[in-house]
Structure 1
Amino acid sequence: APNGRIMELPIISNFREGLSVLEMFISTHGARKGMTDTALKTADSGYLTRRLVDVAQDVIIREDDCGTDRGLDIQAIREGNEIIESLEERLIGRYTRKSVIHPETGEVLLGVNELITEDLAKAIVDAGIETVSIRSVFTCNTKHGVCKHCYGRNLATGSEVEVGEAVGTIAAKSIGEPGTQLTIRTFHTGGVAGDDITQGLPRVQEIFEARNPKGQAVITEVTGEVIDISEDPSTRTKEVTIKGETDTRTYTVPYTARMKVAEGDFIHRGAPLTEGSIDPKQLLQVRDVLSVENYLLREVQRVYRMQGVEIGDKHIEVMVRQMLRKVRVMDPGDSGILPGTLLDIADFKDRNYDTLVAGGVPATSRPVLLGITKASLETNSFLSAASFQETTRVLTDAAIRGKKDPLLGLKENVIIGKIIPAGTGMPRYREMEPKEVTVASENVYSISDIEAQMAAEDALNSQN
């Protein structure tokens, strides 16, 4: 059928005996489906690329080192028993956050803030180390961009990334371009009815747009032990009871859902109770931002790797960081921000810093997960947002609020015809002065001077 489901009508005759009219019709549908799929997919994938570029276009390598003390503890990404992305692949071209020590000999394989090369990554894996703490785009402190150490190596050239590299655009292209290779179909996993997991392009869009996923998993809000799983035939549901340290919660899950936990299991909050996709917005309410970022990274990698497409982690990290760069102010304290305002994390920290310096009570906020379309429209640059979508709404809104555009990204500078702040357009390159070549200093002789001197000495010698 057009939606990718398998029709329950097998073609039982063959071309030699002849097909019936219906069978002939079904088989032609099958043959044409491939072509229509490809045509539709190209448009979808192109639009995804455009949205990705728009949300990340202002992410540029802005400095050498942001001096953060946070990082990411990474392991191989697994799905059941198979490894989706090995630890070695995830380590190459990243910087360490803590020194890596051989578990048996105790020798230091790598110091702090050192680049992990292919050989070193292999050595780490061979030593039997399973978790390594690295610098990551997620934990970078650079405002409006990333620093060299948190990004690591430039995957295009294999050398260290340069200040001024437009890594946001590179990330968007790297994720969007293989989109055409992903399938549009939802695969039907045999066995349980209603257990279709969305895969391929629709799943990638679902993740990046932060939509409520199809086949949503029920997650727990408490850390504790599963004390009871009971079935209720009358309402056709199962009830899972979890005893936490402070309270006991009961979750109702559908009768048909496949359980991921059993009685007696100890689970942490945010863990799924049933098979399916976790809603990242729910996860953000019960866990911290880093857990959500890690979950989104793993999910995107899973889709691409299952189709045999390899993408560097850092590209996805750049995108996911853009989705979580806003906070919603809950209690303004003495900062004078209106409650409910969406602010960039960097701006929020600055305002709080000023408030604290003035001796006031700082504001409190909670992180917000925005889909890429929403995140693009919520940027500080109204020019960039207006050139993306809903132009009239964005411009009227900007006019009413009297917004200023800081011109930090690429699009807004292109629109007004300024030089873009990337590559050699970065202030630190543009302010370079050519060195003045001074007159040769006194103690430098030209060849002719030396020759003249030698000739004079020879003349003296010959006289003697």
Structure 2
Amino acid sequence: MADFDTTDFDAIKISLASADRIRSWSHGEVKKPETINYRTLKPEKDGLFCEKIFGPVKDWECACGKYKGIRFRGIVCERCGVEVTTAKVRRERMGHIELAAPVSHIWYFKSPTTFPLARLLDIKSKDLEKVLYFASYIVTEVDAEAREADAADLKEELDADLEELDAERDDQIERLREQGEGGEDEFGEIEPLSDEEIRAGIADLEAEYEDEKRLRTEAYEKFMQLEERELIADEGLFSELKRYYGIYFKGGMGAEAVRDLLRGIDLEAEAKSLREVIASDTAQKQKREKAIKRLEIVDAFLKGGNDPANMILDVIPVIPPDLRPMVQLDGGRFAASDLNDLYRRVINRNNRLKRLLDLDAPAIIVNNEKRMLQESVDALFDNGRRGRPVTGRGGRPLKSLAEALKGKQGRFRQNLLGKRVDYSGRSVIVVDPTLKLHQCGLPSQMALELFKPFVMRRLVELGKVENIKGAKRAIDRQLPAVWDVLEEVIQDRLVLLNRAPTLHRLSIQAFEPVLVEGKAIHLHPLVCAPFNADFDGDQMSVHVPLSTQAQTEARVLMLSSNNLRSPASGKVLTVPSQDMVFGAYYLTTEKAVEGAEMPIFADFDDALLAIDMNHELDLQQPVTVRVSAADANLTDGDRKVFRVLTGKGEHEDIDVTEHTARFETTIGRIIFNRQCLPADYPYINYKMVKSDIGALVNDCCDRYPLAAVEPILDAIKETGFHYATVAGLTVSVWDATIPEDKPQLLEEAQERVDEINEYYEDGFLSGLERHTEVVNAWTECTDLLATEMLAGFAEDNPIYMMADSGARGSKTQLRQLAGMRGLMADMSGDTIDLPIKANFREGLEPL
């Protein structure tokens, strides 16, 4: 393989390698299946570990020992043929195997989704498999013009052949009859055939010649309609076609025939005709879909510049021996990579096929060996993709080349994408409501280790220590000056937080670190949704972008406050939930105080001052507030308007241009609007539940730039947490109040079910109808009971408030707590028509 700098490149392109390209990579042909000599423990010549092909086992030493030492660098030993170089070339140098017959690459004809080889040839994948594995012949070329021109002569030739067969049959029958009149046996005596024997012989001859005539006629008819890419499974029929019409068509089986078809494809003409089919209005839907799938394959070959014929291999590469090692174990035994066994099978079968071809063996034996060679190459590339996998000792499937590439432990995900990273750490996460959206809490010890080089440099710059060695010593001893420098170093620096599994872009985000005590990483509660994180023991990893460009990229593209929306749907993911939702719900709920007059306030500030001074006032108590032009949140020309949102999609506009006006609200809603929302946002004057908060956040993201949305989110978070604490929500089993008329509702439903069962027993209903009617009756009862239960809950019932706000739980769960569990499903998913009448508060019985 040509030498190149593996670090200096702009792009990587994966393409099909031609036979010549594979040979150019190779340093020699592997001809023998042997690996090492078990007596001398040296690689066998021309074998899978050959030093002449792959390089020396020992640094700067040829195989025979004639040249030793670095001074002989680059010399090729004239005795053993090994180049004097380092042993590490055995990780780079490749070999190759010259195949005695072409084989197909299994990835292209046995792909689980695309089947590129079959689609390109417009052949069914099962038919293609029959051709490749020598179960069927395929026509690769037909000279239709010559066939048309010679049609009359071919018909005459057929008639003549049939007449000749008839004459030959009559001649044979006549001879048989003559034997019936008498003949000589081995002793010279005459022994005539019996009439029965003559009749049996004539019948056999007639059947034999009839078969020959049928086959001859069938071959003619088949030939006259023969088309390219047509399959012929009957070997006798194909032999007959080749015998009489071999000059008009070509055909065969195996990868060689498929390659002839691939070489005959004009990709540009094929793409043009497929586009015409797709654009055609008359084409059937199925035909158009098939053309689209074929065009994808054809376009891929055109754009990639690949030759489709390269899907058929004449040469297969042998990967370097140190990538498929063989090591000696205690006791003299050897452990080898499975690839060596798979390569050995290929070489053995290839060498056997070469011998058979040299001996000019019968076609059936040669074809069988070619099929076995194809199967061995399939197993080498992707063992188990087709048929039963090749197994080693103990029945374990051998690991093929594909096995080394695919999956989590494969070369791509394990080694190329999932490298271990310096300047990184990992710890358990805990919630921290005091953080801003763009911040994360980083344990001091972890931060010191992550930013160690920066702290050491800064200590030297400030003159706190004499040199780097002194700085390292200061960090190890954790002197007070170190923590001050660390605080300075992390200013304006970002770290990346990643939570596995990294399923989408938002699984890695950038944060400004804030030093915290302890060993846990502190996380902002609003970024839990994009990370899909919770605090039941989840861990996250931290990475430090080092360069200025990386820091800039992290701040612009990856900062959490710049990634509020989902890349999939465009909706905001950083929406307050649970405690925050309940706090906002509690704050914006309206609850009238009996016997109390509605307070009136001069403005919002007056109302907020009153709630601070007068503790008898309630947050949820209705109040009247005067608004003026200073409170306007909307300008309509010269008019100043105070817009009040009164519900979902509903609003009221109050003109405050010249006069003040009054409107009714609660002090809690004044606090929510003042603390959480910008001054120019319409005044929210209704109870906020989870969906309303989600809609509010999405609307804010549409109205304001991202920099202005972050303070809104943090304000909702802080206000929500604070007033959830003020609410002092507690849950008791007695909060699940059971409807008083539950027994009556159950009794009515049971009577209805008994009535349905009577109809069934009298034959008025089928079993299915009875089941449906019973299920409907109990479902209706369950829904009615749930309605009664919800109506019976007080508005300040803690369980009801949790479900109504959307903070936690649902109306269905409340029904199971205080109503009835209702109908259940069995293991097959069908509804059982006998419901569970009890609820969780009452407790469930065993039966």
Both structures adopt the same fold (TM-score exceeding 0.5) = no
TM-score normalised to structure 2 length: 0.16
Which structure shows the higher helix fraction? 2
The one of the two structures with greater contact order (alpha-carbon pairs below 8 A, sep at least 6) is 1
TM norm structure 1: 0.25
Larger CA Rg, structure 1 vs 2: 2
